[in-house]
A and B are shown apart, each in its own frame.
Chain A
Amino acid sequence: MEHIRMPKVENVRLLDRLSSRKAALGTLYLTATHVIFVENGSETRKETWVLHSQISSIEKQATTATGCPLLIRCKNFQVIQLVIPQERDCHDIYISLIRLARPVKYEELYCFSFNPKLDKEEREQGWKLIDLNEEYNRMGIPNNYWQISDVNRDYGVCDSYPTEVYVPKSATAHIIVGSSKFRSRRRFPALSYFCKDNNASICRSSQPLSGFSARCLEDEQMLQAIRKANPGGDFIYVVDTRPKLNAIANRAAGKGYENEDNYSNIKFQFIGIENIHVMRNSLQKMLEVCELKSPSMSDFLWGLENSGWLKHIKAIMDAGIFIAKVLIEKDWVSFGHKFNHRIQERTYSLWAHLWKNRADYLNPLYRSDHSQTQGTLHPQMAPCNFLYKFWSGMYNRFEKGLHPRQSVTDYLMAVKEETQQLEEELGILQERLANLQKSQLDNDKDKSKQQDQSKQLGLFNSSNSLANTPQEYSSDLKSFPSRSPSQGDEEDSALILTQDNLKSSDPDLSANSDQESGVEDLSCRSPSGGGCLPSEDSGKDSDEAVFLAV
């Protein structure tokens, strides 16, 4: 690959994000698709793989005595901190990665070179796994009021819509095309969800190009057609997901919102979900909080609040609750993103992959006959802000030490799996018993006697051994001072290491990645123990055992 300036660098250190004292020495490789770090340890040779397209940002920091630090932030919230001995190598890696992480052609994307060794038929099957028409059929569409329209064939009207869209029967191609010209990026109102029980529907569109006073007859007709598609409905809600102020500001740019006076029988409502720029900013701020080194509770909560992230979550939930539930698959992929048909011929579908590994994603507590599985969910509508929480499983996903050390889900899945085996065995045993009883006189003992003896009952009776290690609860636990007792000066030797003290002496501690060894993170963040601990002990408790082993 011409973009790889430096395919391999040795003696690179991979820092533990939570504990600067712990670092793994190894070799860094750049391949056409991945950054790979292989630890030197002769036995483990632990490998860290990062897909180029997973890289969100690369930051080269100032060279220190130990080398040149390179910070790789990934889109999945993993943060990788490398220290490369030579500045020159670091620069080459940096330049290479910047290029590799930003492909300029679709063909450079990993999915075009990824080959899971499926034949053509299987690959096509994967793309057919989710059939839009089938989804609409399930909702009872087409029916007397709604039909499929090919007005967008060859993406002729709207390039970000699928070729087949569902629209009211009374909406002619003329109306649709007219309406599309009055909407941002031509995203005309189209059916998203239809509720068989009461003929209510959810349609979706972009903002109208109304400016301060512009009107569009076809757009007005389009909304009327939607209203008429629900014979019982006297009006339709037009829900604008933006804060009102944003919508008003947009009018100056020739965009805007529906004027209730121009459309017959609509009720207009703003919901107040911020735009992507505000969201991105919030996410950025929240990730900075996640990256803090040993933050205090206040640092964390204050940072979380300041990021505004949970506010957005709540706004979106409120809107969702208001509009009721909409299926994720249809709403976020088929309509929202530009997808190229030709991709199907050369790449593999994610859904096929997920379906194949669905066992990993099952909720053991799901039951189709539960009351909460039937019909509509009614999440708490009241302003119970405390129901919204920071999702550490997502944003601190790679800091395993921060998460519960035993997974209830894993445990229950294992129980269920064992239950299934037991059911099968019970069947076999019952059959054998029946046979045995029948042929007892014949003294006929066939069957595999070994089978049940080799099979062990109680999958987890012995193996629920989780081993974990203490974290850095205090940096006080170093070896005793070596001075003789007579020298003792109680005032000085007392170790008072509180967060406050640390802060006053070094306010930028959290931001400083090269701290002095004398001042260390007090809080326990490292998942695998402080470096000062006896090594023979930590050897027993491997990091891998932090999850319930079954």
Chain B
Amino acid sequence: MLRSCGCCTPTLILLKKEKLGGKPSLYLISNHCRIPRMELKKWTTTSKYQIKRFVGSLGTIIIKCKDLRIIQLDIPGMEECLNIASSIEALSTLDSVTLMYPFFYRPMFEIVEDGWRSFLPDQEFELLSSVTDEWRLSCINKEFSVCPSYPPVVIVPKSVDDEALRKVAMFRHGSRFPVLSYYHKKNGMVMMRSSQPLTGTNGRRCKEDEKLINATLRPGKRGYIIDTRSLNVAQQARAKGGGFEQEVHYPQWRRIHKCIERFNILQESLIKLVEACNDQSHNMDRWLSKLEASNWLTHIKEILTAACLAAQCIDREGASVLVHGTEGTDSTLQVTSLAQIILDPRCRTIRGFESLVVREWLQAGHPFQQRCAQSAYSNGKQKWEAPVFLLFLDCVWQILRQFPCSFEFNEQFLIMLFEHAYASQFGTFLGNNENERSKLKLPQKTMSLWSWVNRSEELRKFQNPLFEANSLVIWPSVAPQSLQLWEGVFLRWNRPSKFLDEAHEEMINIIKYNKELQAKVNALRRQLAEMETDDKM
């Protein structure tokens, strides 16, 4: 049976079984026509749909979702099927952000903490000021007037004033001047990030830029510039006005090129991988060749290696690091955020990881709206689409797999972030940077993902029962034998998980029972101790 709620802009497709064993009904739920007392179990956001066939009066719609699920709907009645199809088509390709679900979503939970205010730069800076006074918070970008893709406030060396920053911004692609990304408390070394310098073919230089990045070095110390492009690509960039730091002008810095792929190469890789995962027909050899041909794990290896290298420079070489590629909004952020997971135990907690995503991805101006528009089933050539953030999450999962006791969160937490980055009822991942988010008035008009996640009932699902705080730097292996396909995302809808879930449950029970016993024993001991002292008196 089909019930279409006709009007306006529905954003949810709901399949619901009215009664046990009954046939499910399909709802397209409008934002405006409210269905009373409807309980939403699963929402899905379409990426692409296709009408497969009509047999008699039964039409089939196949919906391919951004979370990689494929849903097939058999709909009685040709006309209804076509109506549904065109509705889904229209609704899954909304051209205005403000028509999207987050603007209509009404939370059904109590808001304990406003996620929009959970991770403010001031708090981050306060933490920093407790260990060093060499940095300052600059409001130079208050009106987004200097750099449109930067947040209003950034952390820069104290010795560099806003006037100098303005000049540096002119010398960097998209005005993304070097800012602080991470301060390594252990030895005071730092990681900065920026975009490429605009040296062009004439080898233009900018004294303020040199001064700025040198200001991050200790006297007599040198630093590393990790360029996420190959030398070839970096050289070619000069023809378009870009370039790289020439040693003659940056003698205290040593440049290392670590090539990380971009845009369509990554997107094609994702498409091929998902194709391979969905193909149930081929034999073993074809599976392995397809996995290999997708190059997905090669990208994982490249990104992890670059991040490990950055972390190694900071922790082992005792050197400061500047990371950039071309725009400084993609591979740069992959490297800086992963290096922090390796170096900083705080980033391995739930709160710390959220803060990392906010700082190094959202505020740092990773263009989520462009990159996470269609996911793996995009048909047309989406010029700006690329699974940059998914690759980052995959790399985190790889480290989590190698250090299963060092993370406060579990795999589900990462999968949840993947889903919300592509489609969400929350406004957190809308827009391409803070500037756009502020124009859309997201904090006023939408709910933050963090408001929902950081409630104890949700957090419980994302906690890793094995977590034991580990204050050390964790060095993952990036050998091919150590890297695996992230089944939790890519085979999520293709593999039965019942027994795995059962094993996971058992793990939780073992630990829970242990904790309960500990509490009981401790209480008894206290009681006994008290009684015994009483006895003495």
Contact = CB atoms under 8 A, between A and B. Distances in A.
B477 A457 contact: no
B289 A305 contact: yes
A297 B133 CA distance: 44
Contacts of B494: 384, 386
B518 A458 contact: yes
A419 B517 contact: yes
A242 interface: no
B483 interface: yes
A67 interface: no
Contact of B277 (A386, A396, A457, A470): A386
Given A418-B514, A440-B535, A480-B254, A365 B480 contact: no
Contact of B308 (A387, A449, A524): A524
A17 to B, nearest CB: 12
A187 to B, nearest CB: 30
A439 to B, nearest CB: 10
A498 B230 contact: yes
Interface centre among B305, B402, B521 (most CB of A within 10 A): B521
Contact of A370 (B402, B506, B507): B506
B65 to A, nearest CB: 20
A385 B283 contact: yes
A489 B472 contact: no
B444 to A, nearest CB: 44
A433 B248 CA distance: 78
A415 B511 contact: yes
A408 to B, nearest CB: 5
B465 to A, nearest CB: 10
B256 A476 contact: yes
A389 B506 CA distance: 24
Interface stretch (B83-91, B159-167, B448-456, B523-531): B523-531
B245 to A, nearest CB: 8
A302 B292 CA distance: 7
Contacts of B487: 386
A445 B535 contact: yes
Given A305-B285, A445-B535, A460-B468, A433 B258 contact: no
A419 B514 contact: yes
Interface centre among A294, A389, A473 (most CB of B within 10 A): A473
A385 B405 contact: no
A224 interface: no
Contacts of A38: none
Interface residues of B, number: 92
Interface in A421-470: 422-423, 425-426, 429-430, 432-433, 436-437, 440, 443, 445, 449, 452, 457-458, 460-461, 464-470
A314 interface: yes
B68 interface: no
Contact of B480 (A296, A416, A488): A296
Contact of B403 (A396, A406, A416, A493): A406
B179 interface: no
Contacts of B470: 464-466
A426 B292 contact: no
Contacts of A310: 284, 288
A213 B529 CA distance: 88
Interface string A121-134: 00000000000000
Interface in B469-505: 470-475, 477-485, 487, 491, 494-496, 499, 502-503
B282 interface: yes
A390 interface: yes
Interface string A270-306: 0000000000000000000010001111111110110
A471 to B, nearest CB: 6
Given A457-B522, A494-B255, A422 B478 contact: no
A477 interface: yes
A301 B480 contact: yes
B36 to A, nearest CB: 39
Nearest to A366: B506
B123 interface: no
Given A489-B247, A495-B255, A525-B477, A534 B316 contact: yes
A392 interface: yes
B301 interface: yes
A389 B288 CA distance: 10
B439 to A, nearest CB: 40
B457 interface: no
Contacts of B109: none
A400 B312 CA distance: 20
Interface in B223-278: 230-231, 244, 246-248, 251, 254-259, 277
A119 interface: no
B466 interface: yes
B79 interface: no
A172 B484 CA distance: 55
Nearest to B475: A470
Nearest to B509: A367
A485 B248 contact: yes
B292 A464 contact: no
B16 interface: no
Contacts of B298: 296-298
Interface in A237-284: none
Contacts of A351: none
A402 interface: yes
A364 interface: yes
5 contacts: A364-B510, A385-B287, A449-B532, A477-B317, A494-B231
Given A297-B483, A386-B287, A490-B255, 7 more contacts: A314-B284, A403-B482, A406-B403, A412-B511, A415-B510, A436-B532, A473-B305
Interface of B: 222, 230-231, 244, 246-248, 251, 254-259, 277, 280-289, 291-292, 295, 297-298, 300-301, 305, 308-309, 311-313, 315-318, 401-406, 466, 468, 470-475, 477-485, 487, 491, 494-496, 499, 502-503, 506-507, 510-511, 513-514, 517-518, 520-522, 524-525, 527-528, 531-532, 535-536
Query: Nearest 8 pairs between A and B by C-beta?
Result: A485-B251, A300-B480, A305-B288, A385-B287, A301-B292, A464-B468, A488-B247, A422-B517
